[in-house]
C-alpha cells in the first residue's frame, strides 16, 4: 500500500474526531499594527487603542479578522507533523468562514481541529477538511469557525 493510501486509511479512522489543539497565541498590539502595515488596513479600531477604548464597546483595539485567520497556519503547525511520504501541504481554501467574536489586543487564542472529511483526489493528492474553531481564552464565543481544506501532496 502507498503512503497516500496509508494516510487515507488512518484519516478515515479519525473522521469526526478532534485531532489537534494548538498552543495559545497572544495577539499583541504590535502584531496587530504590523498586520495593518503589511495589509494596508489601518482602520482605527485596530491601530488606535485610545480611540477604540473611547468609541467602541470592545474596551480597546481589536485584531483584524484576517489576522486571526492567518494565525491558523501557526496553529496547524502546532498540531500536525508531515505525514510519512508527504512532499508538501497546500492550503486549498475555506468553506463557511464566520467571524463570531472580536479578538482584543492582548488576548490569547488557540485552534481546535476536527477532521470532517478526507478523500483521495489522485495518486498523489489527499484532500483533508478540518473544522477549525479558534477559541479566545476565557470567552464562550469563539473568534471564528470555518472548514479548512488542505491538499496533502505525496511523492510518487
Pairing of strands 144-154, 125-136: antiparallel
Do 29 and 37 touch, CB atoms closer than 8 A?
no
Closest CA to 85 of 118, 46, 126: 126
Q: pLDDT class for 156, splitting at 50, 70, 90?
A: confident
The residue ranges of every structural domain in the chain are 3-154
pLDDT per residue as tens digits for the range 43-63: 999 999 999 999 999 999 999
Query: For residues 54 and 48, what is the distance between their CA atoms, to the nearest angstrom?
Result: 10
63 phi and psi angles, rounded to 5 deg? -70, 150
What proportion of the chain, given as a percentage, has pLDDT over 90?
Answer: 94
The CATH classification of domain 3-154, taken from the options 3.40.30.10, 3.10.129.10, 1.10.150.110, 3.10.180.10: 3.10.129.10
Single pTM value for the model: 0.94
pLDDT per residue as tens digits for the range 57-99: 999 999 999 999 999 999 999 999 998 999 999 999 999 999 9
Residue 97 is inside which H or E element, if any? strand 86-99
92 phi and psi angles, rounded to 5 deg? -105, -5
Amino acid at each position: 500500500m502507498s503512503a497516500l493510501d496509508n494516510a487515507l486509511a488512518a484519516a478515515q479512522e479519525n473522521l469526526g474526531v478532534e485531532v489537534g489543539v494548538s498552543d495559545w497565541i497572544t495577539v499583541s498590539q504590535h502584531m496587530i499594527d504590523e498586520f495593518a502595515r503589511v495589509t494596508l488596513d489601518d482602520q482605527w479600531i485596530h491601530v488606535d487603542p485610545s480611540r477604540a477604548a473611547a468609541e467602541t464597546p470592545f474596551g480597546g483595539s481589536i485584531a483584524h479578522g484576517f489576522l486571526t485567520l492567518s494565525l491558523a497556519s501557526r496553529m496547524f503547525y502546532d498540531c500536525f507533523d508531515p505525514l510519512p511520504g508527504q512532499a508538501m501541504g497546500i492550503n486549498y481554501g475555506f468553506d463557511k468562514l464566520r467571524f463570531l467574536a472580536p479578538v482584543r489586543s492582548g488576548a490569547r487564542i488557540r485552534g481546535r481541529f476536527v477532521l470532517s472529511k478526507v478523500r483521495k483526489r489522485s495518486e498523489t493528492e489527499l484532500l483533508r477538511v478540518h473544522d477549525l474553531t479558534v477559541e479566545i481564552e476565557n470567552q464562550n464565543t469563539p473568534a471564528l469557525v470555518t472548514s479548512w481544506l488542505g491538499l496533502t501532496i505525496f511523492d510518487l
